[in-house]
Homo-oligomer: A and B are copies of this chain.
Amino acid sequence: MDSSLQTPHQPLYRRLAAHYLDAINASTLRAGDRMPSVRELVRQHAVSLSTALQTCRFLENEGWLEARPRSGYFVKAAKRLAVPAITEPDMRKPHDAAQFVGIHEKVSEIISKGQRKIRINLGRAAGAPELYPGKQLNALASRMLRQRPNLFSKQTSPTGNKTFKTVLAKRALSSGMTLNPDDILVTYGCIEALNLALRAVAQPGDVIAVESPTFYGLLQVMESLGMRALEIPTSAQTGISLEALELAMRTTDNIKAVVVVPHLQNPMGSIMPDAHKRRLVALCENHDIALIEDDSYSALVHDGLPLASLKSYDTTDNVIHCASLHKALAPGLRLGWMTAGRWQARVNMLKYAQTRYNDEWSQSVAAEFMASPAYDRHLRQIRTALRTQRDLTADAIATYFPPETRCSLPNGGVSVWVELPTGSSSKKIFEEALKHGILTSPGLLFSNSHRYDHFMRLNCGMPFTDEVTQAYAQLGRIVRDVAG
């Protein structure tokens, strides 16, 4: 069997499908191209006839292939949304020299303004409450309260909730990670995990290579720790530029870590191809630089295919894997987790001294839900909803925004990244939109530079009601005004 298909713990046909999906995403196979025939698949990948058939049918059901009578399977004309893709940056060198982050004031200004009466929140990076299984979680929590009268009156366990960690370890198998529950540290959200990871591997003044653009949460963590950010150009298709990163590693002192979101990058939505992941892991290993991955979104990829984590390529304990349940399961539970390779003892120490162990109730509620078939059912539903909402969002942008607008079209997640005509101030748009009760995330929050001032991140995690459509119409008018 083809060695590239050996992501463990996944049915073979899904792995084969993922392989061809990679090829489609990378435009190796384009719309109209003929898919290798079933017999060719059998021969090339040493799989059974039935596996080859299952692969093609799966891709057809997911909308990637169409069967033409007597001719076989063909790559479907991608449902091209009328918005062009965002401009790819020059991927050959880092954007700027490493610098201390000074983003917090901008962010708090935005957040405090966001406290005003908001009708439509297009600024957040989470789904709307109705996309999550709130009632089911409440029912589980209620049962737990009946069964455990000491839930709040007993100290939390110093080892964390074993059941929860076991569930997480089981789920991690599909990302290619084989973890012992004891290798898992439960945290208050992925933000705490990133904090602990950076504190474990770097000191104040050290340089951290980050994607550009990246989410402001990460920049704030670095600012609060006095670390310097080195912004590496990042593609909306394939993620961080390995060329620019490699150059940076050769020419910049004191890079202590690289932080990336390999799947559904925030804010652009890029998914790193497996070959890139392998190279990135090797690159960091060779330069003895820690690799920190934030894998909070991968459960929200539209096609539901498991994605191999960077950690799954790690053979030297050099990757720190961080994730949260905030986006996929419950925005109101502050649950994240991490596995930290050679820094595990150090992050355990830092966590204990920082916030002690997470409380029992949230871990137990999440564990019970995630161990049941309800979790996969929920994930299927939220993915379907998110795909629809992404398409409707792109349609709305095509309809209401100026024709020069460009937009990322991520294959999952809760937001799109919008590129406005150069010179449009997303801060001005933010302020105007606020007057109409619409919250946006202006691009200036996503970098230490002013490089993304004409970008903005818009939420597509909300059911597309008339009110949302009207908000897009209003936002379009504001963008046209500001863009002049």
Chain A interface (Cβ within 8 Å of chain B)? 104, 108, 111, 114-115, 124, 126, 129-135, 137-138, 141-142, 145-146, 148-156, 158-159, 188-189, 191-192, 195, 199, 203-204, 217, 220-221, 223-224, 330-334, 348-350, 352-356, 358-362, 365
Contact = CB atoms under 8 A, between A and B. Distances in A.
A191 B354 contact: yes
A156 B326 CA distance: 11
A117 to B, nearest CB: 14
Given A129-B153, A134-B150, A149-B134, A359 B356 contact: no
Taken together, the copies of this chain in the complex come to: 2
Residue of A126, A156, A223 most packed against chain B (CB within 10 A): A156
A340 to B, nearest CB: 15
28 contacts: A111-B158, A129-B154, A132-B153, A138-B145, A138-B148, A138-B151, A142-B142, A142-B146, A145-B145, A152-B330, A152-B331, A152-B333, A152-B365, A153-B331, A154-B332, A155-B332, A156-B331, A188-B188, A188-B356, A189-B355, A189-B356, A203-B204, A221-B353, A332-B361, A334-B358, A334-B359, A359-B362, A361-B361
A151 B159 CA distance: 27
Given A129-B150, A149-B135, A356 B155 contact: no
Nearest to A359: B334
Mostly, the A contact residues are helix
A153 B325 CA distance: 11
A332 B150 CA distance: 8
Nearest to A334: B359
Contacts of A152: 132, 134, 137-138, 141, 330-333, 365
A330 B224 CA distance: 31
Q: Which 3 A-B pairs have the closest CB atoms?
A: A132-B153, A134-B153, A224-B353
Contacts of A349: 104, 108, 220, 224
Nearest to A221: B353
B332 A356 contact: no
Given A191-B355, A355-B189, A356-B191, A224 B350 contact: yes
A333 B352 CA distance: 16
A484 B280 CA distance: 62
Given A115-B159, A150-B332, 14 more contacts: A114-B158, A132-B153, A134-B149, A134-B150, A134-B151, A137-B152, A137-B153, A151-B332, A153-B330, A155-B331, A188-B356, A195-B355, A217-B353, A220-B352
A295 B358 CA distance: 22
Nearest to A335: B359
Contact of A331 (B133, B154, B203): B154
Contacts of A361: 332, 361
